[in-house]
Amino acid sequence: MTDPTYWTSVSSPLGPLLLTAAPTGALTSLSVPGQKGGRAPLDDWRRDPGPFRAAQEQLQAYFAGDLKEFRLRWHAEGTAFRKRVWAALDDIPFGSTVTYGEIAARIGAPRAAVRAVGGAIGANPLLVVRPCHRVIGAGGALTGYAGGLDRKVRLLTHEGVLPA
């Protein structure tokens, strides 16, 4: 028997957020409705808001403008390359952006790896809390976001990157 996946739904300005966690309480995903590659509850998952109290409080504080850095335990499955890219996302400060090329450079990948970096960012299972919305295209283009470009714009506007 495999360990159960716990889940809950949290209201947000982006719509209902689906959060999943391992039995340890570590957050394993955060999805938005209609997300490319997003998750949906399975029959054997356990709905329980208990493991998500800290995440819910921090998300509420973030959307209220009172929190700029999440301090949550999370665990995301991925290749070593994806984990390096995701770790680089964690270092992008609130209210700033970097390009896909800058992420490639930060992880020591060649410039030719920009597409692979984009693929890893697109596979980020922890939207909002692992800030993939802060990655933009060369020249400032708002390219790609698994949660939809409208949500990327809303998040960057919330963080003061884009004018309200």
pLDDT at 100 over 90: yes
CA–CA separation, 134 vs 93, rounded Å?
A: 9
163 classed as catalytic: no
| Integer CA distances (angstroms), 9 to 21, 40, 46, in order | 12, 11, 12
Could you tell me the pTM of the whole model?
0.93
Q: How confident is the model at residue 1 (pLDDT cuts 50, 70, 90)?
A: low
Please compute the mean of the pLDDT values over residues 120-135 and round it to a whole number.
96
Instruction: Using the structure block, give the residue that is written with the tokens 């495999």.
Output: 2
- Catalytic residue among 114, 132, 155, 161, which? 132
CA–CA separation, 142 vs 147, rounded Å?
A: 13
How confident is the model at residue 3, as a pLDDT? 83
130's CB contacts (< 8 A; 6+ apart) are: 74, 76, 86, 89, 90, 124
Contact 39, 45 (CB under 8 A): no
What value does the mean pLDDT of the chain take?
94
Kindly report, residue by residue over 26-64, the tens digit of the pLDDT.
999 999 998 988 899 999 999 999 999 999 999 999 999
